[in-house]
Structures are given as C-alpha cells and as structure tokens.
Chain A
C-alpha cells in the first residue's frame, strides 16, 4: 500500500479534506471517496475524455491526474454544474438538441464544453469540433453535440 496523503481542496464550491493513497487518481478519489460518480472511467488512459473535470479553470482527464495533486486546487465536476434554478444552459442544450444517447460520455462532454465556452464564448463550428477532439462518443456521431454546444453559446 502506498503512503497516504492528506489533502484539502475545493470541489464544487465546498472545501473537502481527504486522505488518499499517493498513487491514486483524482478520478478514483472522486468516485470512490467522495461518491461523485458523474465522471466516468471509460478508458483510463486519457484517450476518451469521459472523466473530464475542470481544475483551476483547465479541463483535464481526471484518470491521469494524481488525487494528491488536487491539494489546494479548485475543482469542478459534473455534479457542480447544475444550479439551484435547474440545468445549466449547456446541460439544457444537450437535452434539447438530442446530444445524449447512452450518456456515458455526456458528463465529460458537458465539462469540456463548459471549459471551451469559458475560453471562447463564440466558437465557430470548427472550434467546437476541435474543442471536443479529446472526447469520444460512440453513440451520437457528435453532430448533435456540436448543435448543443452552438446552442449553449447562443444562449
């Protein structure tokens, strides 16, 4: 067993303190220790984006990030996107545009879309396609996801 590391960080606005094995991934910590199972492990090798979270304003694959490295950082997961008033405009657009089928890639897609729109509020279609290049979807053929991101950008 690897040494435990005590860390403190902000997740979805709340300060959390946990003790994690030094070799644990942020994804495993979120899912298994914080019961935030929205981020999915679909490949575990950074190739599919289903585990995307936002760390200090940058989207990353949480499967490749060390949990210990969350210390002192601000993290947003899919569970933090929805507001008390309801769905975030990006989430609403995913629903309305039919961008969700099996939905396994959806949390990662939404997080990446959110990051993309934060950096570039008026993306072209090409920007959207490139912005989602690290997120694999096997159901939708992406077109409806492009529509959803474009719709969210408009609103």
Chain B
C-alpha cells in the first residue's frame, strides 16, 4: 500500500508558541544574570556624583586593601581606547566627568560585600566646572565646553532640503508654527544590565553579553580593549529584554573586560535597578520647532522642521535618530516642500541610545498631533484632512522611499469605520460644552516605518546556515538574535513550512559569534523580514538538494516532488516516495557520492544607502499604521482611563499570529507609557526617579482592550509576503492618545507625558474647582 500524506494546512499565519517558552515558564532558563562560571568574580562600578568636574585624583589605595578584592580598574591603569558612535566616551574617566553616569573605577572581588565596601573606600577629588543642561543654551558662544575637541558642543547634525519652503509658505493659506518638548523615557528592561568577561589562555576574549548587535559589537568594543575585533567571541545568553538599549557598547562592558584581564578570572559585572535607571541609555529627548502650511482645500504645502537633541555627555545612537525621524517628518503624508535640520548638542545630562521606534516615536508625536491641529484650523475633520494628503501606491517620498503598496489611506478608512470615529469625535466635542466630570475622547494617529530592513550600514544582511541531521531534524544557524521578540518561532515556522517537518524538528542556534554567520542585529523592525528571508531561502536550497536526491532515487522528477509530514511525496497525489530521514541517511552514506544537506544563504535586501543628502530608498518595504484610541478623562483628578485601542496596520502577511499580536500589544504598552505616564525626570543632570515607584511603566490594570486589523498586502520581497512590524506599535500610541485627550477636553499637550497633574493644571489653572 502506498502511504498517502495529505497536504497539511499551511503554518503561515498560525499561532506558534515560542520554542523557548516552556523552559521560561518553569524557571529553567538561565539568563545572563543567573550565570555563574567557575572562579567568577563579582564586579561593580564606582560612579561619579558630579555632572561636570575635573578629576583631580582617584585614590584606590584603601579599597585595594579590602579582603577579597582582586582587581581595580581606573583610567590610569586601563587601556585608553574610546567607545560610542563618535568615539567620544572613555569607558573609565581620567580627566573629567561630563554627566552623572560617568565611571571612575571598576572593582572586582570574591563577594558582593567586599566589592561594595571597596567602592565606598575609593576617594575621588574633583574641581567642579560650569554646567549646561539645555541644548540651545549649550550652543551659545559662552556655554561651557563639554569636550575640548567638540567646538560649539556640536555632536551630530542632519540637514535635508527638498523643494522651496519659502515659496510654499507664501503660497499657503494657513501656516501653523509649533514647539514640542519631548521627554526622557527609558527601556526598563526587566533583566538589569549584566556582562561576563572571560579570557582564554591564548588571550582571546569570550564576552557573555546582552547585546542585540553581536557582530558589530566586536567592532565597537575592540577599540576600547587593545585587542583585535577578531579575538572577541560574543555569546548571547537569554536576556531580560532589550528594546534597543543594547545596540551600542556602554562603558560597563569594557570595564568588565579590563577587570577580567587584570584578574585573569571570569568577571561578572551587573547593575542594580537604580543603576539601570541612571546608567543605561534613554530614549532621545527632543525639542522640535515645526512649521506646516496648507491650502484652504487641505493640501499640505510644506513642512519646516528644526530639532535640538540633548546629546548629554557622550554620543550614542540617540544622536542619530534624525535618520529615522526625518523619514516621517518629510515623508509621512505628501509633503511637496520640506526642510529638516537637527543638531545634537553636548550637555551635562545623561545620554540617549536607541529605543524601539528610534526617533519615529518623537516624529510621530509631533506630526500626528500637528495634523489634527491643522485639520481643526482648516475646518476639516481629522480623517478627511489625512485622506486628502495620504500618498497613493507607487509614490515616492522626498527622500525617495518608494511606497509600493501605500496602505495609508486604507488604514485610516478602516480604522475610522471600525470605530465610528467621526460620530464619536463630533459627539465628544459637543459634550465638552455640557456639565460633567468625565469626558470621553477619541483620537487617531498614523505613521510610517521601514518594514523591509533599513540600510544604515553597508550591509543590511543576515547569514544563515542550515544543516539536516540523519534523523530529519533541521538545525538553523542564523545570525539573527533572539531577545524575546520571537524570531526563534518565526524561523522555526518558515523552515518547517518549506521542509515539511514539524516545528519541533527545527533547532535554532544563534547565540555565539564563533558559530553564527554575520547579521546586523535586532533593530529597525528588520529581523522577520531579513533573517526570515535568509532562513526561508536556505530552506528552499535544502529542499532543492533533497528533492534532487529523491528524484535520482525514485525516477520521479524533482519538480513533481514535495516535502510533507516528514516524507518526500509526489506533489499531485501525496504518495510517499520515501521518508525524509531515510533519504537523508541514504544521501549521507552513499559512499563516493555521499552528500550532507548543509546549505548557506546570505540575504541582502534590495534597498539602498542614503546619499550624503539623505536621499535613498533605504528599505525594501514600508508599512503604515493608523491607531485609534478611545479613552476618558476625569477632569477633576486629571486621571486618564484608556478604553480601547484599535490598530490598523499593513503587515504584508501575518507569519506567527501569537508573535505579531504580542509585538503589537507589547509595543502599545510602551507607547502608552510614552504618552501618559513614563518620564525619567532629570534636573540639573541628576536622575530624580531612578526606581519603578516613581518611573511609571504601564501596569496590568491600565491596559486597554486592543483590537488589531492587519492589512495583508503581500509584500513581494518579504518572506511569504511578510513585512517588519514591531516598532509602529510603540511609535503611534502616544500621539493617538494625545489627540484623544484633546477630543475629550480641548487641551493640547506638546510636552508628553500627559500626566494627571498637567491635565488638571491646564483645565483649572491655579484655581481649585469644586466637585459636582
């Protein structure tokens, strides 16, 4: 009897649990924070308590005497190399401190108690220097200089110019000019900062790290270490979240390496939660001056954007966010004339890194609230005005992003329909005039983001090696990192779909730079798209090799064969030709003809680098989203209660239903925090709320109902049509909430987060009103 294998239902679009979830729910997963290596030392950092001061002396003599102290690293006794995007950050500070994060010494010892005691005994003498905390102040001629070799305190600038904004302004019927002040928020990864450094006897470094950027990490780390990048092996144990915070090298990492080198023992350096708040990067704060014009009929005529970024003491990825910000400022809606200028300016504040959404959170807060303001000014409703200016498929933005499918208008229309947006919006405005403590609000915000990688490095590729063992299992060695986001499930799914094997027969290996091929890291919503393509292409190659071998054995031509349920079958009738594992063994043990299924793929997306004028189609695909928030405002306490967020997003194709919804919901929670509650309060360079008590991440009872509508427009270059999706959910909610709050109470907040106190102040000024 022939065995018939039915064509299984496709896995694409199904809810596939993460393969690492079972170990995580039983508490078995060993996170980097849980790791203990033999003879490992504990290390911590002595930080400054000044924000700008000359270091006169660092005395470690008493600290060295503490029993159990094995090594102390200071600027004096450590390599002098620099880290950071502009290589302006010495991991250990010897000459001066520039912000409250600054590291004076690293101490490694046998126990945490010994290390704590030694830290207290390190004596530092300072001479305070004049300080500056505001980016525009820091640009003035008489401002204190933060880095001697950075005249004018200028870090990075971005400038873009398209069309003629002067003329467009003259031709406009209305012009709005606004100023926004966008605040500091931080990632608050649940797993605090941690690194383990260990040298082998050849002098080669193994570093266990939380990086989400393992291959560039070597290049970024090496200059600080006096060892070649090639001598660094990066191992990525499971981490407690990253969200962009682990894209750069930060001083604690080289410091751990200095200590490991001195001690000739493994060193684990970790942060307390307080340190995590003070010493890990933030989202980039921004002051945005924006002018936008339109014709009476609602056609936008121009945008003129000037941005000041508080760079803090050193330059990390935060200073580069204009690269992404600009895409939205210039290309979200049809903007025929546009200028964008930004300056990142050194100050004595802590510094920012990258954070999910990367500049687009800020850009979207500004543009999406401005769109609403302008609609109102024009006497149009928020939907109509947006639709008037939404690009059509095939249009290019001023920076040359090609909007192949451009689902923007669809997102807006579907969102408006699903929520009865216009009826509610009008009713809420009318209700403002009537007495009542609780006001209902509805608001929409939209944005665009790269969804097919982002070519910000010379390659945006990902390498994958796929091998099959003698039992029909596939091992996928991918460059892509797993930081909780779920690429493990996606790759498993794509590979099992192609190879016709169960997901449990796919093994992912991706946490060791000595094994994995290159990848540019988890960022830019790129991993499902890029690593997914690489894995799928590798699986297709393996499939070809397998089917060719099966064809030779069976006299059925390869194009008539398929892989299904662990068998090679005849495509048309499902009759099994052979079991896959048996075939693999036959191929493997075929004497002189022996072959192992072992294929590789380096996938480089069809995108281009920007030229020096910031023109270039940097992503293989773009995605739009429209998010509608329904909420209520308590006009007496200022409390905001979210009811529902309805999200319409063009995602190309849903691969893993659980994964995509998880990314949406998780991003939204962070976006809500940005809009309503999270703020790292920094006064004169000092972090005032370095704890979860006063840094208010969104908690379970605050989560609104979330309804997602995915527009599946089958991106031709994506794996099974998928696009990258994971940043928009974090990008859009803040602005959507701001617009809904306005709808409820008629007050605009250009300085998120929209806290209860801000609302009450805006509504009641200094008078205290009566309850009804």
In the complex, the answer to whether B484 meets A47 with C-beta atoms within 8 Å is no
In the complex, the answer to whether B484 meets A82 with C-beta atoms within 8 Å is no
- Interface presence of B394 (CB below 8 A): no
Of the candidates A98, A141, A145, which one forms a contact with B658 in the assembled complex, judged by CB atoms under 8 Å apart?
A98
Chain A residues positioned under 8 Å from B20 (CB to CB): 100, 103
Give the Cβ gap from A119 to chain B, nearest Cβ, in Å. Answer: 16
In the complex, the answer to whether A101 meets B703 with C-beta atoms within 8 Å is no
Of the candidates B27, B189, B243, B691, which one forms a contact with A78 in the assembled complex, judged by CB atoms under 8 Å apart?
B27
A132 and B701 CA atoms in complex are apart in Å by: 8
Of the candidates B31, B667, B692, which one forms a contact with A43 in the assembled complex, judged by CB atoms under 8 Å apart?
B692
Chain B residues positioned under 8 Å from A45 (CB to CB): 273, 691-693
- Interface presence of A123 (CB below 8 A): no
In the complex, the answer to whether A81 meets B190 with C-beta atoms within 8 Å is no
The closest CB in chain A to the CB of B24 belongs to: A103
As a 0/1 sequence over residues 384 to 409 of chain B, the CB contacts with chain A under 8 angstroms (1 = contact) are 00000000000000000000000000
In the complex, the answer to whether B27 meets A94 with C-beta atoms within 8 Å is no
A137 and B190 CA atoms in complex are apart in Å by: 7
Chain B residues positioned under 8 Å from A106 (CB to CB): 24-25, 27
In the complex, the answer to whether B700 meets A138 with C-beta atoms within 8 Å is no
Chain A residues positioned under 8 Å from B668 (CB to CB): 141
Give the Cβ gap from A106 to chain B, nearest Cβ, in Å. Answer: 5
A40 and B693 CA atoms in complex are apart in Å by: 18
Chain B residues positioned under 8 Å from A132 (CB to CB): 700
A27 and B243 CA atoms in complex are apart in Å by: 27
In the complex, the answer to whether A100 meets B24 with C-beta atoms within 8 Å is yes
In the complex, the answer to whether B17 meets A98 with C-beta atoms within 8 Å is yes
A142 and B666 CA atoms in complex are apart in Å by: 7
In the complex, the answer to whether A44 meets B28 with C-beta atoms within 8 Å is no
In the complex, the answer to whether B665 meets A142 with C-beta atoms within 8 Å is yes
As a 0/1 sequence over residues 104 to 124 of chain A, the CB contacts with chain B under 8 angstroms (1 = contact) are 111100100000000000000
As a 0/1 sequence over residues 643 to 681 of chain B, the CB contacts with chain A under 8 angstroms (1 = contact) are 000000000000000110110111111100000000000
In the complex, the answer to whether A102 meets B240 with C-beta atoms within 8 Å is yes
As a 0/1 sequence over residues 1 to 43 of chain B, the CB contacts with chain A under 8 angstroms (1 = contact) are 0000000000000010110111011111111011000000000
Q: Number of contact residues on A: which range applies?
A: 35 or more
A107 and B26 CA atoms in complex are apart in Å by: 7
In the complex, the answer to whether A91 meets B25 with C-beta atoms within 8 Å is yes
Of the candidates A47, A78, A144, which one forms a contact with B26 in the assembled complex, judged by CB atoms under 8 Å apart?
A78
In the complex, the answer to whether A138 meets B241 with C-beta atoms within 8 Å is yes
A14 and B199 CA atoms in complex are apart in Å by: 40
Chain A residues positioned under 8 Å from B666 (CB to CB): 101, 138-141
Q: Given that A103-B238, A141-B669 are contacting pairs, would A40 and B661 also be in contact in the complex, using a CB cutoff of 8 Å?
A: no
Chain B residues positioned under 8 Å from A107 (CB to CB): 24-25, 27
- Interface presence of B227 (CB below 8 A): no
Chain A residues positioned under 8 Å from B697 (CB to CB): 136, 138
Q: Given that A139-B241, A141-B666 are contacting pairs, would A103 and B700 also be in contact in the complex, using a CB cutoff of 8 Å?
A: no
- Interface presence of B359 (CB below 8 A): no
In the complex, the answer to whether B692 meets A95 with C-beta atoms within 8 Å is no
The closest CB in chain A to the CB of B667 belongs to: A141
Give the Cβ gap from A45 to chain B, nearest Cβ, in Å. Answer: 6
In the complex, the answer to whether A102 meets B241 with C-beta atoms within 8 Å is yes
In the complex, the answer to whether B18 meets A42 with C-beta atoms within 8 Å is no
- Interface presence of B272 (CB below 8 A): yes
- Interface presence of B685 (CB below 8 A): no
The secondary structure that dominates the A interface is loop
- Interface presence of A97 (CB below 8 A): yes
In the complex, the answer to whether B692 meets A48 with C-beta atoms within 8 Å is yes
- Interface presence of B120 (CB below 8 A): no
Chain B residues positioned under 8 Å from A144 (CB to CB): 658, 661-662, 665
Q: Given that A103-B21, A104-B190 are contacting pairs, would A139 and B662 also be in contact in the complex, using a CB cutoff of 8 Å?
A: yes
A145 and B658 CA atoms in complex are apart in Å by: 12
Of the candidates A36, A41, A95, A104, which one forms a contact with B25 in the assembled complex, judged by CB atoms under 8 Å apart?
A95
A144 and B25 CA atoms in complex are apart in Å by: 14
Chain B residues positioned under 8 Å from A104 (CB to CB): 31, 189-191, 239-241
- Interface presence of A77 (CB below 8 A): yes
A96 and B33 CA atoms in complex are apart in Å by: 26
Chain B residues positioned under 8 Å from A44 (CB to CB): 272-273
In the complex, the answer to whether B27 meets A77 with C-beta atoms within 8 Å is yes
Q: Which of A10-30 contact B (CB under 8 A)?
A: none
The closest CB in chain B to the CB of A86 belongs to: B22
In the complex, the answer to whether A79 meets B701 with C-beta atoms within 8 Å is no
A94 and B27 CA atoms in complex are apart in Å by: 13
Q: Given that A98-B662, A103-B484 are contacting pairs, would A40 and B25 also be in contact in the complex, using a CB cutoff of 8 Å?
A: no
Give the Cβ gap from A129 to chain B, nearest Cβ, in Å. Answer: 5
- Interface presence of B106 (CB below 8 A): no
- Interface presence of B430 (CB below 8 A): no
Chain A residues positioned under 8 Å from B187 (CB to CB): 138
In the complex, the answer to whether B17 meets A96 with C-beta atoms within 8 Å is yes
In the complex, the answer to whether B700 meets A42 with C-beta atoms within 8 Å is no
Give the Cβ gap from A70 to chain B, nearest Cβ, in Å. Answer: 18
Chain B residues positioned under 8 Å from A143 (CB to CB): 661, 665, 703, 706
Q: Which of B678-708 contact A (CB under 8 A)?
A: 691-693, 697-701, 703, 706
- Interface presence of A50 (CB below 8 A): yes
Give the Cβ gap from A47 to chain B, nearest Cβ, in Å. Answer: 4
Chain A residues positioned under 8 Å from B272 (CB to CB): 44
- Interface presence of B483 (CB below 8 A): yes
A40 and B699 CA atoms in complex are apart in Å by: 18
Of the candidates A101, A103, A139, which one forms a contact with B29 in the assembled complex, judged by CB atoms under 8 Å apart?
A103
Chain A residues positioned under 8 Å from B669 (CB to CB): 137-138, 140-142
Q: Which of A44-88 contact B (CB under 8 A)?
A: 44-45, 47-48, 50, 77-79, 81-82, 87
The closest CB in chain B to the CB of A140 belongs to: B666
A82 and B28 CA atoms in complex are apart in Å by: 11
In the complex, the answer to whether A101 meets B27 with C-beta atoms within 8 Å is no
A83 and B20 CA atoms in complex are apart in Å by: 19
In the complex, the answer to whether B27 meets A43 with C-beta atoms within 8 Å is no
A102 and B18 CA atoms in complex are apart in Å by: 10
In the complex, the answer to whether B21 meets A94 with C-beta atoms within 8 Å is yes
A37 and B29 CA atoms in complex are apart in Å by: 9
- Interface presence of B485 (CB below 8 A): yes
Chain A residues positioned under 8 Å from B698 (CB to CB): 141
Give the Cβ gap from B269 to chain A, nearest Cβ, in Å. Answer: 15
A38 and B669 CA atoms in complex are apart in Å by: 25
Chain A residues positioned under 8 Å from B240 (CB to CB): 40, 42, 102-104
A53 and B20 CA atoms in complex are apart in Å by: 22
- Interface presence of B192 (CB below 8 A): yes
Q: Given that A40-B190, A43-B273, A101-B666 are contacting pairs, would A139 and B24 also be in contact in the complex, using a CB cutoff of 8 Å?
A: no
In the complex, the answer to whether B26 meets A38 with C-beta atoms within 8 Å is yes
The closest CB in chain A to the CB of B673 belongs to: A138
A105 and B703 CA atoms in complex are apart in Å by: 17
- Interface presence of B322 (CB below 8 A): no
Q: List 8 A-B contacts (CB under 8 A).
A: A1-B113, A37-B34, A40-B190, A77-B27, A102-B240, A107-B25, A129-B700, A136-B188
Q: Which 9 A-B pairs have the closest CB atoms?
A: A38-B27, A102-B484, A104-B240, A98-B658, A103-B24, A141-B665, A78-B27, A47-B692, A141-B669
14 extra A-B contacts, CB within 8 A, seeds A138-B187, A142-B703: A40-B190, A43-B273, A44-B273, A48-B692, A98-B659, A98-B662, A102-B238, A102-B240, A104-B189, A104-B190, A105-B190, A110-B25, A129-B703, A137-B669
